[in-house]
Amino acid sequence: MIPLRDNIPRERPSLVTWTIIALNTLLFFYELSLPDRVLDAFFHIYGVVPARFTNPSFAAQAGFPDGGLESFVTYMFLHGGWVHFLLNMWVFWVFADNVEDVLGHVGFMAFYLVCGLAALGAHILFHPSSTMPVIGASGAVAGVMGGYYRLFPHARVLTLIPIVFIPFITELPATAFLGIWFFIQLFSGLFDSLDAGKSASVAFFAHVGGFAAGYVIMRVVGTRRCRYCWRPEEGRYEDPGKLG
Give the pLDDT mean for 173-198.
82
A 10 A CB-CB count for 220 gives 8
CA distance 219 to 238: 21
Q: What is the mean pLDDT of the chain?
A: 87
**Residue 156 carries which DSSP code?**
E
Helix (H, G, I), strand (E, B) or coil at 71: helix
Q: What residues form DSSP beta bridges with 171?
A: 158
* Comparison of pLDDT for 232 and 85, the residue scoring more: 85
**pLDDT for position 199:** 55
Q: Can you name the residues that pair with 157 across neighbouring β-strands? A: 6, 172
Query: With 50 as the cut, is the pLDDT of residue 84 above it?
Result: yes
pLDDT of 240 higher than 50:
no
State the Cα–Cα distance between residues 17 and 19, nearest whole angstrom.
Answer: 5
Is the confidence at residue 243, as pLDDT, over 70? Answer: no
**Residue type at 155 in one-letter notation:** A
Decide: 210 and 122 in contact? Cβ < 8 Å.
yes
50 or 242, which is more confident?
50
Which of 5-19, 58-72, 126-140, 160-174 is the least confident region? 160-174
DSSP string, 161-226: EEETTEEEEEEEEHHHHHHHHHHHHHHHHHHHHTSTTPPPSS-HHHHHHHHHHHHHHHHHH--SS-
Percent of the chain topping pLDDT 90: 63
Judged against a pLDDT cut of 60, whether residue 234 lies above it is answered with no
Question: What are the residues facing 48 on neighbouring strands?
Answer: 134
pLDDT at 19: 97
The H or E element that residue 151 is part of is: helix 138-151
Look at 4-8, 56-60, 199-203 and tell me which has the smallest mean pLDDT.
199-203
Q: For 8-17, how does the pLDDT look when each residue is reduced to its tens digit (9 = 90+)?
A: 888 888 999 9
Fold of the domain built from segment(s) 2-223: Rhomboid-like fold (1.20.1540)
